[in-house]
Homo-oligomer: A and B are copies of this chain.
Amino acid sequence: MKRFKALFVMAICGLFLSACGNLGSSNGASTSGNSSNKGTQLTGQAAAGDYQSVIKNGRYVTSKSRGVNVSQNDNQFNLKSFESGLLTVSKKVYSPSKYIFEEGQYLNTSTVQNWLGRKSKSNPDGLNPVNNGKTDPNTRNPIYLQQMEEQDFMKQNGKKLTLSGVTIGLGMNSVDYYEKKNFGSTYQTKISKAEAQREGRQIANQVLARLRQKPALKNVPITIALYRQAPTDSLVGGSFFSYSNNKAGATTVSSWKPISEQNYVYPTTSSKATNGNSGSGNSNDEASFENFKSQIQNYFPNLSGVTAQAHYTNKQLTGMNVNITTQFYSQTEIISFTQYLQQAAQKYLPSNAPIDITVSSTEGVQSFLSRDNGAKKFTSHVFNSY
């Protein structure tokens, strides 16, 4: 199923990429004469703590390696959590109040694809080890680096934007999935945290040295962050575990700072539910969630799924995404259920952490509730249709 989904996503990507070439001509006509679209603009800040981003000639500036990570992730949870997590790291270093975000402009698709490959005669830039020809999970050389992402940060000086910082995320496998022959069974090489850290640091050094060879990146601060990918069957993505800030000009990584972030899935009925972290999060939080779950399952008939992703920073709950799925038979059921959730979530779910609750059916998202960091009450929205 996941394989199928991944293939589907890749097929869609191909579709979109192949359509890309026509963008200029097909959409160009509609902007002629619109003078407000000329030059560089910013998107505006949707919420405090978000970056503004760059618009050039009315268009969003997309990543030069757009789409590579979509095809690198069998588990889409790793894609979103990697990108959001990298933004969180960037915000520690490049404050959204002073810097403007731009998608990575210095690593293009072919560069990233080459770097993510194995080192070989035909691919001397591969950051993953050479294929030693072995197929045993413990003696073969696994793929350590699964995905990478560049984020650029600009400072505004009058009407001019100057590149003033770059963040690079390196997604390191916790499990490398491989086949002994094409279309054969899938085998696994497990990669310990220590091994991932050691290899990640070594790769980071190479990446930093290579980036310094690009004239535009010679003299800007470069932050590199290491992420541990969740296994393919995880219901939550992986997490960042370490980062380093490198001053303008530095060509070797000097020091690493730890990041303490963990993701868990509640209920933890299955060991597969976690992202490879030992333990099962916080037992108080899980008990709160279980209470909430049993209340709402009693309230509304046949809820087919009630799960949560719980995110911890320095062992404290710093976010929770609750997903509720079932079939609904009427719009009034959705409205009433959402009202009830507002009460029940407030009463049973952990306080002091931002929480999102999404209510879905086979027809898609029906309603959602949200409580921001520091807020007391949940706001809710029921999706309507005319």
- A contacts, CB < 8 Å to B: 8-9, 12-13, 16, 19-20, 23, 27, 30-31, 37, 43-47, 50-53, 55, 58-60, 62-63, 66-67, 69-70, 76-77, 79-81, 83-84, 87, 101, 103, 149, 151, 236-237, 239, 263, 294-295, 297-302, 309-311, 319, 321, 327, 329-333, 335-340, 342-343, 356, 358, 360, 362-365, 368, 370, 380-386
Contact = CB atoms under 8 A, between A and B. Distances in A.
A384 B80 CA distance: 7
Contact of A23 (B302, B336, B340, B356): B302
A299 B263 contact: no
Given A8-B362, A362-B9, A386-B311, A55 B327 contact: no
Contact of A294 (B30, B47, B239, B339): B30
A301 B363 contact: no
Given A44-B343, A330-B63, A380-B47, A302 B19 contact: yes
A166 B43 CA distance: 49
Contact of A46 (B19, B58, B79, B338): B338
25 contacts: A12-B327, A13-B327, A20-B301, A30-B297, A43-B340, A44-B340, A44-B342, A44-B343, A51-B335, A53-B336, A62-B301, A66-B330, A77-B385, A80-B385, A84-B384, A103-B330, A149-B330, A236-B385, A237-B386, A310-B386, A356-B384, A358-B383, A364-B364, A368-B381, A381-B381
Contacts of A383: 356, 358, 368
Nearest to A58: B298
A95 B227 CA distance: 54
Contacts of A19: 302
A365 B362 contact: no
Given A16-B302, A60-B340, A360-B364, 8 more contacts: A30-B294, A53-B332, A59-B298, A63-B329, A80-B384, A81-B386, A101-B336, A263-B386
A101 B337 CA distance: 13
A274 to B, nearest CB: 12
Q: What 4 A-B pairs come out closest when comparing CB atoms?
A: A83-B331, A43-B339, A53-B336, A80-B385
A337 B60 contact: yes
A299 B362 contact: no
